[in-house]
């Protein structure tokens, strides 16, 4: 359809609120607004909408409810809706990642440049640093906080995990803050004793599973044993124990490499065999491995998109057969689209969660603006290093929040005002990954047309919106949100 400057000049803004639009690959038109609402149009209805013959539209009242068409009370209702969707901007930061060690017993293909050998105990966090980390975390401005133990392999420095958990729990009670814990582990150093202790202390457990035995062991090299066998055993055990205690199932993360692309069915089947209820189709990030590895591990954006679509189609087919299984990235976008509040996913925000949503505390007391920032730090790229831990928590928090990194991260990842992103129909649902752009293009500001993370997000959203136009698949996807 033709949308010319003359059409724009006839727009009656007394009736219609600001909107963005785009043509979807299946030729229908989607409009969105800053209350994160969307609506599909046929060409004809879109013309009626633009010519302000809105009363002719069959879904007039629906458009009023979504604030595309103004009614008497739209401003008051709209302010509330926009505030709810952006409530995270007043709460800084809530997710605190603690790198307890750089050591690990694995040498995964996408990590081996960064991991320290098991004998290198100098890369463990000590008690003094751990205490200062906890004090800094608990005095940030959020009332509700999560401490996530990250590693390289966090169970290698298990005594510090225990120390932080106990010390932070006591301090949080004293300060009347809500605190939750999670640990990211390859599970190969898990034991019955550790499992009980972690769950008794409300430490949630998350692991990595790169699919079936062939795909997993191909990516995740472990010279002492069969990594897939060990992680499968512990996934089952952790799930059993968690279910006994009425907790959520264990959460597993997949990292997609070139060799796993054609094996999407086997990978999803492996997750289902282990009684997991979701998979996170994470693309590869270029942080740890050397450039030579990228050539064997990485893939083109379109190859990942093809993998994503096939995987999602397969998962939807399984759902049609009664197997309840979800794809987590799709879930995040569905929550962005349908929930009345932001889903609290640190990346996909404007401004992004870097520095103000999550921060990472390295084993040596260095504080980074995010998990990826500390990975870059490990590669000798210190551009997103915020501060060392200071003598007092107050000084640390002040140094974090007043660092140039924080200011630049907020300013450069806020889509309002970023050319291209700001005008795009998917602006309410996407984010700009400034660290990715910095690492791959050498610039945190990068034209959106060349931003491959944006390209991936647009393809995901195109596909989700296509699925939402089919009543059967729409029902399945909406059921995931229940």
By CB under 6 A, name the binding residues for ligand SF4. Answer: 104, 106-108, 111, 115, 151-153, 186, 220
Taking the complex as a whole, the smallest distance from the CB of residue 186 to ligand SF4 amounts, in Å, to 4
Which residue's CB is nearer to ligand SF4, number 73 or number 223? Answer: 223
Residue 58, classified by CB atoms within 10 Å of its CB into exposed (0-12), middle (13-18) or buried (19+), is exposed
Residues whose CB is less than 8 angstroms from the CB of residue 299 and which lie 6 or more positions away in sequence, other chains included: 256, 257, 258, 261, 284, 307
Which residue's CB is nearer to ligand SF4, number 279 or number 444? Answer: 279
Which residue's CB is nearer to ligand SF4, number 103 or number 427? Answer: 103
What CA–CA distance (Å, rounded) separates 213 from 228? 5
Which residue's CB is nearer to ligand SF4, number 100 or number 165? Answer: 100
Taking the complex as a whole, the smallest distance from the CB of residue 102 to ligand SF4 amounts, in Å, to 9
What CA–CA distance (Å, rounded) separates 231 from 270? 12
What is the rounded (10 degree) CA torsion for 416, 422, 427, 433? -70
Count of residues in the chain = 482
Which residue's CB is nearer to ligand SF4, number 150 or number 413? Answer: 150
Please answer whether residues 263 and 218 qualify as being in contact, where contact means their C-beta atoms are separated by less than 8 angstroms.
Answer: no
Taking the complex as a whole, the smallest distance from the CB of residue 400 to ligand SF4 amounts, in Å, to 25
Which residue's CB is nearer to ligand SF4, number 103 or number 467? Answer: 103
Taking the complex as a whole, the smallest distance from the CB of residue 473 to ligand SF4 amounts, in Å, to 34
**152: Cα within 13 Å, side-chain hemisphere:** 27
Which residue's CB is nearer to ligand SF4, number 66 or number 220? Answer: 220
Residue 331, classified by CB atoms within 10 Å of its CB into exposed (0-12), middle (13-18) or buried (19+), is middle
Radius of gyration of the chain (CA): 24
Nearest Cα to 409, choosing from 341, 358, 345, 342?
A: 358
What are the C-alpha distances in Å from 291 to residues 38, 277, 294, 297, 433? 41, 34, 5, 10, 20
Buried b (16+ CB within 10 A) or exposed e, 407-429: ebbbebbbbeebebbeebbbbbb
What CA–CA distance (Å, rounded) separates 435 from 372? 7
Which residue's CB is nearer to ligand SF4, number 153 or number 433? Answer: 153
Taking the complex as a whole, the smallest distance from the CB of residue 464 to ligand SF4 amounts, in Å, to 29
Nearest Cα to 35, choosing from 84, 70, 90, 89?
A: 84
Which residue's CB is nearer to ligand SF4, number 99 or number 400? Answer: 99
Beta-sheet pairing, 385-388 with 366-368 = antiparallel
Taking the complex as a whole, the smallest distance from the CB of residue 381 to ligand SF4 amounts, in Å, to 18
Which residue's CB is nearer to ligand SF4, number 101 or number 457? Answer: 101
Please answer whether residues 41 and 31 qualify as being in contact, where contact means their C-beta atoms are separated by less than 8 angstroms.
Answer: yes
Cα angle 43-44-46, degrees, rounded to a multiple of 5: 65
Taking the complex as a whole, the smallest distance from the CB of residue 185 to ligand SF4 amounts, in Å, to 8
Taking the complex as a whole, the smallest distance from the CB of residue 188 to ligand SF4 amounts, in Å, to 8
Taking the complex as a whole, the smallest distance from the CB of residue 220 to ligand SF4 amounts, in Å, to 6
Which residue's CB is nearer to ligand SF4, number 230 or number 408? Answer: 230
What are the C-alpha distances in Å from 193 to residues 266, 276, 294? 33, 23, 39
Taking the complex as a whole, the smallest distance from the CB of residue 329 to ligand SF4 amounts, in Å, to 19
Taking the complex as a whole, the smallest distance from the CB of residue 108 to ligand SF4 amounts, in Å, to 3
Which residue's CB is nearer to ligand SF4, number 20 or number 112? Answer: 112
Nearest Cα to 284, choosing from 265, 303, 311?
A: 303
Ramachandran class of 266: left when φ > 0, alpha when ψ lies in -120 to 50, beta otherwise: alpha
Taking the complex as a whole, the smallest distance from the CB of residue 296 to ligand SF4 amounts, in Å, to 16
What CA–CA distance (Å, rounded) separates 462 from 221? 36
Q: Tokens 């229940």 belong to which residue?
A: 482
């Amino acid at each position: 359809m033709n949308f010319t400057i003359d059409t724009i000049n006839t727009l009656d803004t007394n009736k219609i609120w600001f909107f963005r639009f785009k043509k979807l690959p299946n030729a229908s038109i989607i409009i969105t607004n800053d209350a994160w609402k969307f609506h599909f149009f046929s060409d004809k209805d879109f013309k009626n909408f633009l010519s302000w013959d809105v009363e002719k539209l069959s879904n007039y009242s629906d458009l009023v409810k979504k604030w595309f068409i103004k009614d008497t009370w739209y401003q008051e209702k709209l302010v509330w809706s926009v505030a709810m969707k952006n409530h995270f901007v007043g709460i800084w930061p809530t997710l605190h990642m603690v790198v307890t060690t750089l050591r690990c017993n694995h040498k995964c293909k996408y990590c081996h440049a960064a991991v320290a050998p098991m004998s290198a105990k100098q890369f463990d966090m000590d008690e003094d640093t751990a205490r200062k980390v906890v004090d800094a975390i608990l005095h940030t401005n959020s009332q509700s906080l999560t401490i996530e133990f990250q590693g390289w392999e966090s169970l290698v420095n298990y005594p510090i995990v225990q120390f932080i958990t106990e010390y932070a729990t006591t301090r949080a009670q004293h300060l009347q803050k809500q605190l939750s814990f999670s640990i990211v582990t390859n599970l190969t150093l898990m034991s019955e004793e550790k499992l009980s202790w972690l769950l008794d202390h409300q430490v949630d457990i998350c692991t990595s599973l790169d699919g079936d035995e062939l795909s997993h062991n191909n990516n995740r090299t472990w010279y002492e044993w069969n990594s897939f066998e060990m992680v499968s055993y512990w996934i089952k055990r952790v799930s059993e124990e968690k279910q006994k205690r009425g907790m959520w199932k264990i959460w597993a993360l997949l990292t997609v490499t070139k060799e796993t692309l054609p094996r999407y069915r086997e990978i999803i089947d492996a997750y289902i065999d282990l009684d997991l209820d979701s998979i996170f189709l994470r693309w590869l990030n270029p942080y740890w491995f050397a450039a030579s590895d990228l050539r064997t591990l990485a893939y083109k954006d379109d190859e990942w998109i093809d993998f994503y679509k096939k995987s999602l189609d397969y998962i939807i087919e399984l759902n049609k057969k009664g197997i309840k299984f979800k794809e987590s990235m799709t879930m995040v976008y569905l929550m962005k689209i349908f929930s009345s509040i932001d889903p609290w996913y640190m990346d996909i925000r404007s401004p992004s969660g870097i520095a103000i949503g999550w921060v990472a505390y390295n084993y040596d007391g260095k504080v980074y603006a995010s998990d990826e920032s500390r990975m870059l730090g490990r590669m000798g790229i210190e551009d997103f290093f915020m501060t060392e831990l200071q003598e007092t928590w107050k000084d640390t928090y002040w140094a974090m929040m007043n660092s140039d990194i924080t200011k630049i991260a907020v300013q450069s990842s806020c889509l309002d005002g970023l050319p291209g992103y700001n005008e795009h129909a998917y602006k309410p649902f996407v984010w700009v990954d400034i660290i990715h752009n910095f690492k791959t293009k050498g610039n945190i500001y990068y034209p959106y047309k060349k931003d491959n993370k944006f390209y991936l997000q647009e393809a995901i959203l195109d596909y989700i919106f296509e699925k939402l136009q089919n009543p059967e698949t729409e029902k399945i996807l909406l059921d995931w949100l229940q």
